[in-house]
Homo-oligomer: A and B are copies of this chain.
Amino acid sequence: MATGRTHRPATRSRGIPEATVARLPLYLRALTALSERSVPTVSSEELAAAAGVNSAKLRKDFSYLGSYGTRGVGYDVEYLVYQISRELGLTQDWPVVIVGIGNLGAALAGYGGFASRGFRVAALIDADPAMTGKPVAGIPVQHSDDLEKIINEDGVSIGVIATPAGVAQQVCDRLVAAGVTSILNFAPTVLSVPDGVDVRKVDLSIELQILAFHEQRKAGEEAGAESGPDSGTDTGAPAAPPAARTAGGSRKGPDGDVPAVMPA
C-alpha cells in the first residue's frame, strides 16, 4: 500500500547503463582536476586510477558515449570534460529548491558542491514561520505556503528534501504536484512517487549501519575462535568484540559495490 512502485525494470536510459551514469560524475571530477593542472591528455589507466575504478570498466563506460579517445595516446581531457558534462546535462542551469532548513538543510544550502557544476539553489523553503525571511547561506528562507509558486516561477525540476521523516512524503507530494520530477531525499523514509519521477535517497544512518556490519565482522573474525557467534537461537550479544584494530592487512576489504543510496 505504501510504495505502489514495486518491481522496477532497471531501465537502461538511452543505451547508457545506469551503473555507467553513476560513474560519469566520478570521471568528470577527476578530469576537472586534470584540466586545472593543464594536463592535455590522459590514458584510461591513469584516469581510472584517479577515479578509483578499473581501466577496462572506464573504457567500456566511455564507449557508451562514443569513441572519444585516440589509440596510442589516450583521451583529450578538455574534450572529455565537455562531452561528459553535456551527457550529464551540466551544460545547462538547474535550479534546485531545498525544503526543510534545519541543520542539514542549512548545511546543504551552504555546500559548495551544489553551487558548482550548474546547480543553483533557487530557494530555501521551511514550514517554520520563524525562519521565513531569515537568510541562510545568503539566501532568504521562504515559507512553505509559497512552495508551488516558487517552483512554477523558477521552473524548478529538482527538489531536495531535508525535512523530518514525518512530513517528507507530504512535502514530496507537493513538490511533485507542483512539477518537480527529480527528488533527492535525505529524510529516512521511503517515498512514494508516480512514474516518471526520479527519487534518489541519501541516508546517513544506513551508511553507518553498513559500516557497523563489516566492522563487527572484522572484529568477530579477528577474535577468531570457532564459528559464527550466532547460529544458535539467541546468543544475546555476541559478547564484546575485543577492541579490534591492528590492521592485519590480510583482510580482503569487505566491500562490494552496493547501494544504500538508490532510487525509490
Interface residues of A (CB under 8 A from B): 1-3, 5-14, 17-19, 21-22, 24-26, 28-30, 46, 48-54, 66-67, 86-92, 94, 96, 103-104, 106-108, 110-111, 113-114, 116-119, 155, 157-158, 176, 179, 181-184, 188, 190, 194-198, 200, 202-219, 228-230, 234-235, 237-238, 240-241, 243-264
Contact = CB atoms under 8 A, between A and B. Distances in A.
Contacts of A264: 52, 253, 255
A214 B241 contact: no
8 contacts: A2-B50, A22-B260, A30-B190, A88-B209, A114-B208, A117-B208, A196-B252, A258-B263
A253 B184 CA distance: 15
Contact of A259 (B113, B183, B261): B261
Contacts of A21: 210, 213, 258
A97 to B, nearest CB: 12
A215 B182 contact: yes
Contact of A11 (B103, B228, B256): B256
Q: Give the most central of A29, A30, A67, A208: most B CB within 10 Å.
A: A208
B54 A6 contact: yes
A254 B8 CA distance: 9
A108 B51 contact: no
